[in-house]
């Protein structure tokens, strides 16, 4: 069965997306370490993006974070816009994303469950005051609140747990949909990847450039770019 046929007969679709959804907007996967990376940073990205590293080496964390994680010039791509269109048409129930770039919301999606948080939310660790991503980008060294406290991005770092409310809602959405589209993720990041097990619907669709361990369990597997694939969908 083709993707269009599955969309046509679906009543409640949930989209579960990873880094591959945003690469077409020019946001690199932070795990991609090139030669230049090693000249600039003394630690692997997974170590820098950990709770322990943030607490112990806050300035080094922010040097990396501003350089690699704050891609504020990136714009939504065809995938983001098509999903927002599907939601407006009443066939897409929600977007569940592992990305922290806020591009689904920027494209007009209303129900977006951000499993790993968002760069657009930042809070003082002492008084809880809110700061924007632009505030962080334009700061130098360790960003400080007007009260003197350290500002921390509302993103889930390694060693930190996911937000319970977001996880519960995501599991509920996955368990109640008739079609689940998984895209741009190798399904290796847990616990997010484990959520897919809660799907009990009719059609499991996987769109990913590379093969994954889930390929054999899906009704339809498309090895192509996410934006190009979704853009072909005609909403009737």
Known catalytic residues are: 116
Residue 163 exposed, middle or buried by CB count within 10 Å (0-12, 13-18, 19+): middle
Q: Distance from CA of residue 193 to its chain's centroid?
A: 12
Q: Which SS3 state, helix, strand or coil, does residue 94 take?
A: strand
- Using alpha carbons only, what angle is made at residue 63 by residues 31 and 122, rounded to the nearest 5 degrees? 90
| β-pair type (179-183, 151-155) | unpaired
- Using alpha carbons only, what angle is made at residue 118 by residues 84 and 230, rounded to the nearest 5 degrees? 30
User: In the structure encoding, which two tokens stand for residue 11, read together?
Assistant: 């009543």
| β-pair type (179-183, 112-114) | unpaired
User: In the structure encoding, which two tokens stand for residue 208, read together?
Assistant: 């990913």
Q: Which SS3 state, helix, strand or coil, does residue 36 take?
A: helix
Strands (E) located in the chain? 13-17, 92-97, 112-114, 117-124, 130-131, 151-155, 179-183, 203-207, 220-222
Q: What are the two backbone dihedrals, phi and then psi, of residue 56, each rounded to the nearest 5 degrees?
A: -90, -35
Contact between 13 and 32 under an 8 Å Cβ cutoff? The reply is no
């Amino acid at each position: 069965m083709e993707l269009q046929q599955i969309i046509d007969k679906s009543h409640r679709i949930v989209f579960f997306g990873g880094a591959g959804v945003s690469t077409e907007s020019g946001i690199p996967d932070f795990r991609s370490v090139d030669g230049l990376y090693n000249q600039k940073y003394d630690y692997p990205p997974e170590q820098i993006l950990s709770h322990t590293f943030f607490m112990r080496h806050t300035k080094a964390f922010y040097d990396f974070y501003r350089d690699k994680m704050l891609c504020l010039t990136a714009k939504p791509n065809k995938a983001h816009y098509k999903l927002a269109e599907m939601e407006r048409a009443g066939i897409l129930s929600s977007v569940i994303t592992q990305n922290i770039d806020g591009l689904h919301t920027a494209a007009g999606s209303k129900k977006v469950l951000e499993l790993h948080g968002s760069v657009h939310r930042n809070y003082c660790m002492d008084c809880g005051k809110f700061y924007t991503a632009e505030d962080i980008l334009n700061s130098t060294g360790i960003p400080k609140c007007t009260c003197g406290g350290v500002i921390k991005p509302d993103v889930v770092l390694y060693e930190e747990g996911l937000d319970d409310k977001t996880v519960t809602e995501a599991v509920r959405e996955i368990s109640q949909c008739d079609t689940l589209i998984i895209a741009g993720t190798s399904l290796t990041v847990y616990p997010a990847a484990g959520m897919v097990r809660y799907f009990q619907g009719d059609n499991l669709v996987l769109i990913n450039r590379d093969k994954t361990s889930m390929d054999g369990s899906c009704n339809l597997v498309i090895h192509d770019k996410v934006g190009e694939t979704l853009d072909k969908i005609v909403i009737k």
